[in-house]
Amino acid sequence: MTVVPPPHVCRSVRLRQFRNFAELDLTLPVEGVAIIGDNGSGKTNFIEALYYCEIFRSFRGAPDEQLVRFGEPAFHIRAVFQQGARERAVTAAFERAGRRKRVTVDGVEPERIGDALGQAGAVVFSPSDVGLIDGPPGGRRRFLDILLSLHEPGYLTALQQYRQILRQRNAELRRGGPAASSLEVWNDALVRLGARITTLRVRWVERYRAAFLARTAAIAGGPGIEMVYATWLPADIDLTSESAVTDEFSKELRRVAQRERERGMTLVGPHRDDLRFTLQNGNRNVDVREFGSGGQRRTAAVALRMMEAATLRAVRGFDPIILLDDVFAELDPGRAERILEILEAEERGQVVLTAPKASDVMVRAGALPRWRIQAGRIFA
């Protein structure tokens, strides 16, 4: 008999001087809530505050200084998450003076903020996610890095160390060292860490590639979209093998050594890879970023978040909290209806959604409690 784990939910939220919220104290229903209000009332800010407890940064890419209410010295967030009898209190605060960020879990400040990642157990869907598909490669690498930092032990450490080595190696290249031997002190670590990052990224893509294709086909009601890890590495090597990637990385560094000295930068490595989305057009596959319609790009973005939710469920063993920030606003009715069907079938956890009109609230057959938001105040 399959044992169903107790639901993982956010029970309460307290905000102080966060964005346009001066003070906010809420107890959330276990099933979730629909927050209705005009644009500019603070709907996305509320979603942003909840998800801040997952990654301790803005999912919109805003620096912490911009999250502090205008004219105030600091913001503070406190959220309590519960699964069965277990409760966990997460706090996050940022002070303008000294740019100091402090995070606690059950009152204990971790040695590194990275040790506290993933406490919210949430996935956020937003119209801005389309930027993951049609934006520059850095956004897609960031998606993979956040996802794997949350769910793959050791990934965050490898990523941080790789970035440090990369900065030091690039600084040496800019200084114009007389020979490749001056870079050898960095190369071994760059290769070792870079191979680890690359193989973990590739393994995730390969694990969810078929599901992504099927999900995009279901949303589109037609042909699906392929998800491919794009790298400078040769196609004929096993990209899931850390030793194979390590060997090829070392060879490539030697091959491009002269060009790197000329350009003053590291030319190969996972910092130059990409996550691409393609669809079949006649006898060839074309990049959705360049040739896809707006609907196809939005389909890929929503499906990518669904793969994130599937990852969280597989790794942590519970249904994630689903944060839907006006996610149906820019979708045509057919795609919106099919996405809703998938969410209803697969996402059984707590749902917090925002919408400008009560008529836009379709999730859970419209049965979620409906609260109003106005000028940074939420009314149950």
Q: What digits encode the pLDDT tens for the residues 64-105?
A: 999 999 999 999 999 999 998 899 999 999 999 999 999 999
Joined together, the tokens standing for residue 88 give: 């966990």
Same domain, 229 and 259: yes
Distance between CA atoms of residues 246 and 241, nearest Å: 9
Q: Which amino acid is at 37?
A: G
Residue 111 DSSP label: S
Same domain, 138 and 68: no
Same domain, 145 and 269: yes
The total number of structural domains that make up the chain: 2
Same domain, 290 and 254: yes
Residue 290 near residue 278 (C-beta atoms within 8 A): no
**66: number of CA atoms within 13 Å, CB side?**
9
Same domain, 138 and 95: no
CATH number at residue 150: 1.20.1050.90
Span 183-188, average pLDDT: 86
In this prediction, residue 329 carries a pLDDT of 78
Whether the predicted pLDDT of 1 surpasses 60: no
Give the end of a domain, one of 293, 319, 345: 319
pTM, entire model: 0.93
Same domain, 181 and 202: yes
Which residue would you say has higher pLDDT here, 363 or 26?
A: 26
Q: What is the pLDDT of residues 138-153, one digit of tens each?
A: 999 999 999 999 999 9
Q: What is the pLDDT of residues 233-281, one digit of tens each?
A: 988 899 999 999 999 999 999 999 889 988 999 999 999 999 999 997 7
Distance between CA atoms of residues 127 and 326, nearest Å: 7
Domain that holds residue 28: 1-121+321-380
Residue closest to 19 by CA, chosen among 29, 60, 2: 60
Joined together, the tokens standing for residue 213 give: 């294709």
3-state class of 342 per DSSP?
helix
Same domain, 165 and 289: yes
In this prediction, residue 185 carries a pLDDT of 82
In this prediction, residue 359 carries a pLDDT of 72
Q: Say if residue 282 is exposed, middle or buried (CB neighbours under 10 Å; 0-12, 13-18, 19+).
A: exposed
Please report, for residues 4, 104, 129, 147, 305, the alpha-carbon distance to residue 60 in angstroms, rounded to integers and kept in the order given: 33, 22, 9, 15, 15
Which residue would you say has higher pLDDT here, 6 or 230?
A: 230
In this prediction, residue 64 carries a pLDDT of 98
Whether the predicted pLDDT of 203 surpasses 90: yes
In this prediction, residue 74 carries a pLDDT of 98
pLDDT band at 180 (very low <50, low <70, confident <90, very high): low
Residue 68 DSSP label: B
3-state class of 379 per DSSP?
strand
Give me the DSSP letters along 262-278: HHTS--SSGGG-EEEEE
Radius of gyration (C-alpha) of the chain in whole angstroms: 22
Same domain, 151 and 260: yes
Distance between CA atoms of residues 265 and 39, nearest Å: 44
Distance between CA atoms of residues 173 and 269, nearest Å: 15
Same domain, 143 and 117: no
Distance between CA atoms of residues 310 and 33, nearest Å: 22
Give me the DSSP letters along 3-16: PPPPPEEEEEEEEE
Same domain, 193 and 330: no
Most confident of 8-22, 174-188, 315-329: 8-22
Span 161-166, average pLDDT: 97
Q: At what angle do helices 137-151 and 184-220 cross, to 10 degrees?
A: 90
CATH number at residue 326: 3.40.50.300
Same domain, 326 and 314: no
Q: What are phi and psi of 31, to 5 degrees?
A: -75, -20
Same domain, 167 and 310: yes
Q: What is the pLDDT of residues 7-46, one digit of tens each?
A: 899 999 999 999 999 999 999 999 999 999 999 999 999 9
Percent of the chain at pLDDT > 90 equals 77
Give the end of a domain, one of 301, 319, 337: 319
What stretch of H or E contains 279? Answer: strand 274-281
